Homo-oligomer: A and B are copies of this chain.
Amino acid sequence: MPLLGLLPRRAWAALLSRLLRPPCASCTGAVRCQSQGTRDLSPQHMVVREKILDLVISCFKRHGAKGMDTPAFELKETLTEKYGEDSGLMYDLKDQGGELLSLRYDLTVPFARYLAMNKVKKMKRYHVGKVWRRESPSIVQGRYREFCQCDFDIAGQFDPMIPDAECLKIMCEILSGLQLGDFLIKVNDRRIVDGMFAACGVPESKFRAICSSIDKLDKMAWKDVRHEMVAKKGLAPEVADRIGDYVQCHGGVSLVEQMFQDPRLSQNKQALEGLEDLKLLFEYLNLFGIAEKISFDLSLARGLDYYTGVIYEAVLLQTPTQAGEEPLNVGSVAAGGRYDGLVGMFDPKGHKVPCVGLSIGVERIFYIVEQRMKTKGEKVRTTETQVFVATPQKNFLQERLKLITELWDAGIKAEMLYKNNPKLLTQLHYCESTGIPLVVIIGEQELKEGIIKIRSVASREEVAIKRENLVAEIQKRLFES
> What residues of chain A have their CB less than 8 Å away from a CB belonging to chain B?
32, 34-43, 45-47, 50, 61-73, 75, 91-96, 98-99, 101, 103, 114, 117-118, 124-125, 130, 132, 134, 137, 146, 154, 156, 158-159, 162-163, 165-166, 169, 173, 284, 287-289, 382-385, 397-398, 401-402, 405, 408-409, 411-415, 418-420
The copy count of this chain in the complex is 2
Q: Is A71 a contact partner of B288 (Cβ separation < 8 A)?
A: no
A93 in contact with B96 given A47-B67, A72-B132, A408-B62 (CB within 8 Å): no
A284 in contact with B401 given A32-B118, A46-B67, A63-B408 (CB within 8 Å): yes
Q: Roughly how many angstroms separate A481 CA and B55 CA in the complex, as a whole number? A: 24
Q: Roughly how many angstroms separate A283 CA and B35 CA in the complex, as a whole number? A: 47
Q: Is B72 a contact partner of A418 (Cβ separation < 8 A)?
A: no
**Which of B34, B45, B68 sits near A46, CB closer than 8 Å?**
B68
Residues of chain B within 8 A (CB-CB) of A39 are 71
Q: Is A287 a contact partner of B125 (Cβ separation < 8 A)?
A: no
Q: Roughly how many angstroms separate A287 CA and B169 CA in the complex, as a whole number? A: 54
In the assembled complex, the CB of A266 is this many whole angstroms from the nearest CB of chain B, namely 26
20 A-B pairs whose Cβ atoms sit less than 8 Å apart in the complex: A32-B118, A34-B71, A36-B98, A38-B73, A43-B125, A47-B67, A61-B413, A62-B413, A63-B408, A63-B415, A64-B385, A64-B413, A93-B103, A94-B95, A96-B134, A159-B420, A169-B408, A173-B408, A287-B398, A288-B401
**Which of B71, B99, B159, B383 sits near A65, CB closer than 8 Å?**
B383
Residues of chain B within 8 A (CB-CB) of A43 are 66-68, 125
Q: Roughly how many angstroms separate A91 CA and B98 CA in the complex, as a whole number? A: 12
**Which of B45, B383, B418 sits near A61, CB closer than 8 Å?**
B383
**Which of B72, B96, B408 sits near A146, CB closer than 8 Å?**
B72
Residues of chain B within 8 A (CB-CB) of A91 are 93-94, 96
Residues of chain B within 8 A (CB-CB) of A162 are 397, 418-419
Q: Roughly how many angstroms separate A71 CA and B38 CA in the complex, as a whole number? A: 6
Closest chain B residue, CB of each to CB of A419: B159
Q: Roughly how many angstroms separate A75 CA and B35 CA in the complex, as a whole number? A: 9
Q: Is A40 a contact partner of B383 (Cβ separation < 8 A)?
A: no
**Which of B412, B415, B418 sits near A159, CB closer than 8 Å?**
B418
Q: Is B287 a contact partner of A405 (Cβ separation < 8 A)?
A: yes
**Which of B32, B41, B420 sits near A68, CB closer than 8 Å?**
B41
**Which of B45, B94, B288, B385 sits near A92, CB closer than 8 Å?**
B94
Closest chain B residue, CB of each to CB of A67: B46
Q: Roughly how many angstroms separate A96 CA and B114 CA in the complex, as a whole number? A: 28
Residues of chain B within 8 A (CB-CB) of A411 are 62
Q: Is B72 a contact partner of A130 (Cβ separation < 8 A)?
A: yes
In the assembled complex, the CB of A150 is this many whole angstroms from the nearest CB of chain B, namely 15
**Which of B45, B93, B405 sits near A94, CB closer than 8 Å?**
B93
Q: Is A92 a contact partner of B92 (Cβ separation < 8 A)?
A: no
A46 in contact with B69 given A92-B93, A383-B61 (CB within 8 Å): yes
Residues of chain B within 8 A (CB-CB) of A415 are 63-64
Q: Is B62 a contact partner of A289 (Cβ separation < 8 A)?
A: no
Closest chain B residue, CB of each to CB of A382: B66
Q: Is A137 a contact partner of B419 (Cβ separation < 8 A)?
A: no
In the assembled complex, the CB of A260 is this many whole angstroms from the nearest CB of chain B, namely 22
Q: Is B32 a contact partner of A117 (Cβ separation < 8 A)?
A: yes
Q: Roughly how many angstroms separate A241 CA and B90 CA in the complex, as a whole number? A: 57
Q: Roughly how many angstroms separate A68 CA and B125 CA in the complex, as a whole number? A: 26
Residues of chain B within 8 A (CB-CB) of A173 are 408-409
Q: Is B287 a contact partner of A402 (Cβ separation < 8 A)?
A: yes
In the assembled complex, the CB of A345 is this many whole angstroms from the nearest CB of chain B, namely 18
In the assembled complex, the CB of A413 is this many whole angstroms from the nearest CB of chain B, namely 5
Q: Roughly how many angstroms separate A400 CA and B7 CA in the complex, as a whole number? A: 40
Residues of chain B within 8 A (CB-CB) of A65 are 383
